[in-house]
Amino acid sequence: MQELTDRQLMDRKLTEYTTAGWLIVSQSESSFQIVQPHVVSSVALTLLVLAPFGLGVFLSLFSVAIGTVLFWLALFFTILLVLDHLCARPKLLYMTADQLRTLTPAFIEYNASGLTVCSACQTPTRTDAIVCRNCKRYYGITPVVSGHDRPGLDTRRTKGLASDIEYVLKRQNLLDEM
């Protein structure tokens, strides 16, 4: 298994963030900084400002008092939305390639000679380890290894989030066997 270079790893993560609406502030060979700007919801703008304003125009043809109340209500919600937008801070994120490497989970797998190794750095490891001693990555839930029915590897198929959480807690000895 070929390890990704720092640049490839950062490009993958940047792609994930930019498709989710984050903007790149700065970028170097070993780090990046991104920001997620505060965006006013179009649903909130429609329901809280445009609907009372439109109803106020329509109802002012029949009753000036009701129309005036709806105009003031639309103005009040407009002021609230403007204040929310001005007070909201954008989310900033600074990431280095080393941080991304430690966040990327590794798995315990078998190499060609039959030893259990870390999938990230290929260092021999125990089957019950939680963290790799060499690259310091946490082991994720071990995927099904096709063609291997060796004791020590978890070759079960997961049944959802609850069983994944139960597996991780049992692996870290935080949950007693049932």
**Residue ending a domain, choose from 79, 99, 119:** 99
**Does 33 lie in the same domain as 77?**
no
Residue that is last in its domain, among 51, 69, 99: 99
Kind plus residue range of the DSSP H or E element containing 39: none
pTM of the predicted structure, to 2 decimals: 0.47
Model pLDDT, residue 178: 40
Helix (H, G, I), strand (E, B) or coil at 40: coil
pLDDT of residue 98: 80
What's the confidence (pLDDT) of residue 173? 54
- pLDDT, averaged in runs of 10, over the chain (178 residues): 72 87 88 86 83 85 86 88 84 84 74 80 82 77 46 47 61 49
One domain for residues 137 and 171? yes
Residue-level pLDDT at 41: 79
Give kind and range of the element (H or E) at residue 108. Answer: strand 108-110
CA distance 154 to 107: 11
114 and 173 in a single domain? The answer is yes
Same domain membership, residue 152 and residue 134: yes
Same domain, 32 and 112: no
Asked whether residue 175 is domain-assigned, the answer is yes
Q: How far apart are CA 12 and CA 68, in angstroms?
A: 53
* pLDDT value for 121: 78
**Overall domain count for the chain:** 3
Rounded CA separation 113/139 (Å) = 21
> Is residue 111 domain-shared with residue 125, that is, in the same domain?
yes
Q: Check whether residue 110 and residue 139 sit in a common domain.
A: yes
135 in the same domain as 65: no
Do 69 and 120 sit in the same domain of this protein? no
Q: Is residue 13 domain-resident?
A: yes
Instruction: Report if residue 25 sits inside a domain.
Output: yes
Q: CA 93 to CA 169: how far, in whole Å?
A: 29
Paired with 131 in beta bridges are 138
Let me know whether 95 and 10 are in one domain: yes
Range of the domain at 15: 6-37+90-99
Residues 79 and 164 both lie in one domain:
no
Residue 1 included in any domain: no
The backbone torsions φ and ψ at residue 131, rounded to the nearest 5 degrees and listed phi first, read -130, 140
Q: In this predicted structure, what is the pLDDT of residue 71?
A: 86
Please tell me whether residues 57 and 142 are part of one structural domain.
no
pLDDT of residue 162: 58
